[in-house]
């Protein structure tokens, strides 16, 4: 009998949620997603030190002899996620997601400029923008940035998405893909209620199911990629979702598991559901966001967490500048 992972691949595009290139080689996903925390973790792994060092050396060369370690590290920081993305694209047949600096989540113009720069770096390396998804936080400002970028042929992946209002706004903006978080929603409800949830009762599973059904019922082109899983049970409950991005540990568990995997999400069944359409503008978005404690808390927490990971990475790069063999400019 085929493993659960093999059966899942028959109904859902399986994506690897990691910056660990060796794990990607092992599980052979179609696509791969990264985020600031994953890139920061991978950058600390000895096996990827050469990628980090190459980026730092190039940044030093570009910055000139008078640049400080801090300036070199700041320049390298802007290229590191792309450097990992390029390596990942040598392995996978599909697309890689690269994230805009989370500290720009409430700045539409700077998010657009950063996204264009990321695409320019990939294209300079000979990689088509068709193989890149730009990740943006699902703030109103991030969604508006994605709307403009999509018109330029730059495909976007809306992340830190916890509520239906974020999903509807993203679909109305005609973004390519959204990443509703499952496990982080579960975390919030467990903490808030003191209860545990499993299977179809999992609030994260229910959230993604609601979004998926809404999209398919109204015929939106934006695709749904469930993310942030805590266990394989959540993944099994979302079998049939357009895409699922899964950490290597859970991919391993699914590969080792036997049994029959039933399809849970189906576009044809979603068409038959009775769902009320919600017109979306900024006032409605803000009202729904304020009324959703979970989405408000988790979006804020997610942006702060990714921002902290970026700050830690910048410090790590600055430290590494002074350690690499080539002489560096004095501070």
Annotated active-site positions, please? 135
Give the other-Cβ count within 10 Å of 308's Cβ: 15
The three-class DSSP label of residue 27 is helix
Q: Are 68 and 329 in contact (CB under 8 A)?
A: yes
**DSSP for residue 156:** E
Q: Taking Cα atoms as reference points, which of 6, 8, 17, 1 lies closest to residue 236?
A: 8
Integer Cα distance of 240 and 261 in angstroms: 10
Q: Is 93 exposed, middle or buried (0-12, 13-18, 19+ CB in 10 A)?
A: exposed
Q: Which two tokens stand for residue 275?
A: 């769902």
Q: E strands within 18-131?
A: 31-33, 96-99
- DSSP secondary structure string, 256-272? H--SPPPP---HHHHHT
Residue whose pair of structure tokens reads 């920081």 in the numeric block: 77
């Amino acid at each position: 009998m085929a493993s659960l992972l093999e059966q899942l691949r028959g109904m859902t595009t399986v994506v690897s949620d990691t910056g660990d290139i060796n794990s990607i080689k092992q599980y052979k996903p179609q696509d791969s997603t990264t985020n600031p925390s994953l890139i920061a973790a991978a950058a600390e792994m000895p096996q990827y030190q050469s990628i980090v060092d190459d980026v730092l050396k190039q940044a030093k060369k570009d910055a000139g002899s008078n640049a400080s370690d801090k300036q070199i590290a700041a320049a390298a920081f802007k290229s590191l996620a792309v450097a990992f993305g390029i390596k990942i694209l040598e392995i996978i047949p599909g697309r890689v997601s690269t994230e805009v600096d989370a500290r720009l989540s409430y700045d539409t113009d700077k998010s657009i400029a950063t996204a264009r720069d990321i695409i320019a770096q990939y294209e300079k390396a000979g990689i088509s923008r068709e193989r890149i998804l730009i990740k943006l936080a699902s703030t109103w400002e991030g969604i508006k940035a994605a709307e403009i970028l999509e018109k330029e042929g730059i495909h976007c992946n809306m992340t830190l998405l916890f509520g239906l209002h974020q999903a509807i706004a993203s679909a109305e903006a005609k973004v390519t893909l959204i990443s509703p978080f499952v496990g982080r929603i579960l975390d919030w409800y467990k903490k808030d209620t003191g209860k545990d949830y499993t299977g179809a009762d999992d609030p994260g599973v229910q959230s993604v199911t609601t979004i998926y059904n809404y999209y398919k019922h109204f015929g939106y082109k934006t695709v749904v990629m469930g993310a942030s899983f805590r266990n394989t049970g959540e993944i099994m409950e979302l079998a049939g979702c357009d895409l699922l991005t899964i950490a290597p540990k859970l991919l391993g568990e699914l590969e080792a598991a036997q049994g029959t995997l039933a399809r849970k999400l189906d576009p044809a069944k979603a068409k038959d559901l009775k769902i009320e359409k919600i017109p979306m503008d900024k006032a409605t978005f803000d009202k729904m966001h304020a009324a959703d404690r979970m989405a408000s808390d988790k979006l804020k927490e997610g942006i702060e967490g990714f921002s902290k990971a970026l700050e830690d990475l910048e410090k790590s790069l600055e430290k590494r500048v002074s350690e690499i063999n080539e002489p560096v400019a004095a501070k």
